[in-house]
Structures are given as structure tokens and as C-alpha cells.
Amino acid sequence: MKVVEVENYDEMSKVAAKTIIEKIKQEQNVVLGLATGGTPVGTYKQLVIDYKEHMTSYKNVHTVNLDEYIGLKETDPTSYAYYMKEHLFNDINIPIVNTHIPSGEAVDTGKECEEYETLIDSLGGVDLQLLGIGENGHIGFNEPGTSFHSKTSVVKLSDTTRKANSIYFNGLEEVPTHAISMGISTILKSKQILLLVSGKRKAEVLYRLLTEDIKEELPASILRKHPNVTIVADFEALSIVNEKQLVLS
Ligand code: F6R
């Protein structure tokens, strides 16, 4: 696991965008795994700036998102489908049929999960997966205690996750209680993973990720077993790591 230390959120976003752009330029038909939340907003902004300046083409790119809230229509401004259009898809030349997000409106959620796994496999798997991390160590919406063998499934959101995400809703009651999330084994099948970590709020979980045992109570810890993970973290996120003078490889 490689750790790239950057000064701040802006720099983290630029490094992440550069990695994605290089991947798209190097390979035909890239499959990107995408995340939502506050962390990747700056990365998507940089991709849009690059698109406007250099016309990097997304015509042959496919995307699969990590997760979606159950019960939200894709036209709902708080859905991740809406978020992706707002922050990225509307501003680049990706064919919308190439973009995939689990449906929060699915009547048969079990079937939706199975089909999502099949879809990822039929695309040949994820080439580059972008990840954020929850303060409790979740990746995707795989909360502490989730099996490392989990596949795409319906997950119950923890109170801390719902509280953290309530800033995007009109209060905690409006935050959905469940989501569909790629499983941990699904995420681990990605060929390359880029984990973005920014801000003081994430300093403790980043320190835990780098120092604690690999265990299901800390979902992100399994990333240490993946052969190609890069963490891009800013000074604030690395503040405890640096305070304790942990030596990074
Ligand atoms: C989002 C996702 C989550 C977030 C995590 C961090 O698609 O799967 O794991 O990456 O909750 O969220 P932010 O970036 O808002 O701190």
C-alpha cells in the first residue's frame, strides 16, 4: 500500500484527477469505479476542467458507482445518481448508457444487487476504483462488521454514517436507512484502488487503517491485502500519523 502525502484537499483532488486521466489515456475501454460524498467532489471538478481544456475523451469509458440510497428516485437531488450527473456526467462526453449506479428505486433489490455484480463482471471488472472512507472505516457503505466476502447487497446504514451524511438532507430523519452497496469482495476485485482521505475528521481512521490489525470491524483495513492501493492523503488527514511519527512505506 502506497501513501502519497499532499498538502491539502485541492492537491489531493489534482493528484487523483491526474491518475484517472492518465489511465483513460493509456487504456481503451477503461472501467472506472466511482465514489460519491464530499471527498471526490474536487476530483470531479478537476476532471471537468481538464475536459474543457484538453478534451480528454470519455467516449469509451464505463463507470460503476459504489452505492445508492434505497428509496430515492434518480431525479432526487440527494440521490447519488443525481450527484454524479451534477458533478461529472453532465459536463463530460461520457455516453450516459456507459454509466451505472445501483437503482435505489428497484422493487426487487436482491435481483438488482445480483444484476449489478453480473454487470461489473461483464464489463471485465473495474480497472481503477476511487474510494473515500467513513470515519468508522467503512468503504462503499460496508459498515464495521461486514464480511470481507460480501458482494453487492442491501446494507443498513449506521447511525454515525446517517448523521455524517445528514448535512446533504433536511435533517437526519430524511436520510435513508438503507442503501445498495458494492460488497467488500467486489471492491477488492478492482485492479487498482485509489483511496482519498482529507481533513482532520479522517485523521483517526487513517491512523487506525495504517496501524491496526486487518479485521472486519475496520472494513478499510482489508485494503492492506490488495496488491495495488494508493492512498492520497492530505496533511490534516495524516496529522495523527505524523504526530506519532509512523514511518510510511
Ligand atoms: C460514497 C461512499 C462512502 C464515502 C464515505 C466518505 O460513495 O461509498 O464510502 O466515500 O462515506 O464520505 P465523505 O467523502 O462525504 O466524507
Q: State the SS3 of 95-147.
A: CHHHEECCCCCCCCHHHHHHHHHHHHHHCCCCCEEEECCCCCCCECCECCCCC
Per-position pLDDT tens, the chain of length 249: 999 999 999 999 999 999 999 999 999 899 999 999 999 999 999 999 999 999 999 999 999 999 999 999 999 999 999 999 999 999 999 999 999 999 999 999 999 999 999 999 999 999 999 999 999 999 999 999 999 999 999 999 999 999 999 999 999 999 999 999 999 999 999 999 999 999 999 999 999 999 999 999 999 999 999 999 999 999 999 999 999 987 776
Which residues are CB-neighbours of 204 under 8 A, at least 6 positions away? 135, 240
Grid coordinates given for 180: 445498495
Query: Of all atoms in ligand 1, which is nearest to the CA of residue 161?
Result: 11
**Residues 180/102, Cβ–Cβ less than 8 Å:** yes
Q: How far is residue 43's CA from residue 20's CA, in Å, rounded to a whole number?
A: 9
Q: Where are the domains of the chain?
A: 2-243
Q: What is residue 69's three-state secondary structure?
A: strand
DSSP bridge partners of 129: 33, 193
Give the residue ranges of DSSP H helices in the chain.
9-26, 41-54, 80-87, 109-122, 159-165, 184-188, 203-211, 239-243
- Verify whether ligand 1 is closer than 6 Å to residue 140 (CB atom): yes
Domain 2-243 class in CATH: alpha beta
Indicate whether residue 39 lines ligand 1 (CB < 6 A): yes
pTM for this prediction: 0.97
User: Best mutation site among 13, 39, 100, 155 for ligand 1, i.e. most ligand atoms within 8 A of its Cβ?
Assistant: 39
Give the nearest ligand 1 atom to 138 CA.
Answer: 9
Q: SS3 of 40, please?
A: coil
> Looking up cell 447487497, which residue turns up?
153
